[in-house]
Amino acid sequence: RHYRQIFLLQIDPHWASSEDIQYGKFSSKLLKPTGIWGYYWIEDTAVNFFSNLVKLVIALAMFFLLNSYIQLPTNLVTILFFTTSLIIGYFINLTLSLLFGFLAFYSTNVHGILEFFTQLRIFSSGYLFPLNIARFLGFLQFLPFALTYYFPMQIWLEKTDTNQNLMIIGAGLAWLITLYFVTTIMYKLGLKRYESVGL
């Protein structure tokens, strides 16, 4: 299990964005030359650089120590599908994080909501257990969280065929576009509420 850490990046801009909104620091961020979404992405990448680097080093060490026990894809097409699904999953994670962070526009304190999001993301992504382990958990495969870990790992382990891989990629793109529009709407409406009390 530990070698799978190499495919996981910590993405948590919801904490920084929600705190800035909650404590009135968001106004200064609006003056940045970089778009606000891009700013939080860059900031969070820098903040989590060390932890992600440690995770990568540990994963690589485990890979070389236990490579005889690690199942690798048998063809380049699988690796291509996996890489594509991983990129889509990364941006789904990022968009979800921003979406929940922007809830701070609508609440005086979102700490509990953000903690719930963190736990929901871990539970529903398939990281703790395969989402097909029990029938009553099957609905989790239809949530966007499954596209951030469970389905990329299914592709990596070659438990899906080409048609299924294409469906996974298509579903990932559909979710990403949907989440982008939902997050955009929430952000614009929330920004109007924020600006209504003055910058």
**Residue 170, pLDDT above cutoff 90:** yes
Task: Identify whether the C-beta of residue 42 lies closer than 8 Å to the C-beta of residue 48.
Answer: no
- pLDDT at residue 28, rounded to an integer: 83
For residues 146-160, average pLDDT: 92
The reported pLDDT for the residue numbered 187 is 93
Q: Please state, in angstroms and rounded to a whole number, the distance separating the CA atoms of residues 150 and 152.
A: 6
pLDDT of 3 reads 43
The winner for highest mean pLDDT among 44-48, 103-107, 175-179, 187-191 is 175-179
161 falls in which pLDDT band (50, 70, 90)?
very high
Give the residue-averaged pLDDT of 164-172.
97
Cα–Cα distance, 78 to 80 (Å, whole number)? 5
Phi, psi of 18 (to 5 degrees): -65, -40
> Cβ atoms within 10 A of the Cβ of 197, count?
7
Mean pLDDT of the chain: 85
The full 3-state SS of the chain, as one line of letters, equals CHHHHHHCCCCCHHHHHHHHHHCCCHHHHHCCCCCHHHHHHHHHHHHCHHHHHHHHHHHHHHHHHCHHHCCCCCCHHHHHHHHHHHHHHHHHHHHHHHHHHHHHHHCCCCHHHHHHHHHHHHHHCCCCCCCCCCHHHHHHHHCHHHHHCHHHHHHHCCCCCHHHHHHHHHHHHHHHHHHHHHHHHHHHHHHHHHHCCCC
pLDDT value at position 180? Answer: 96
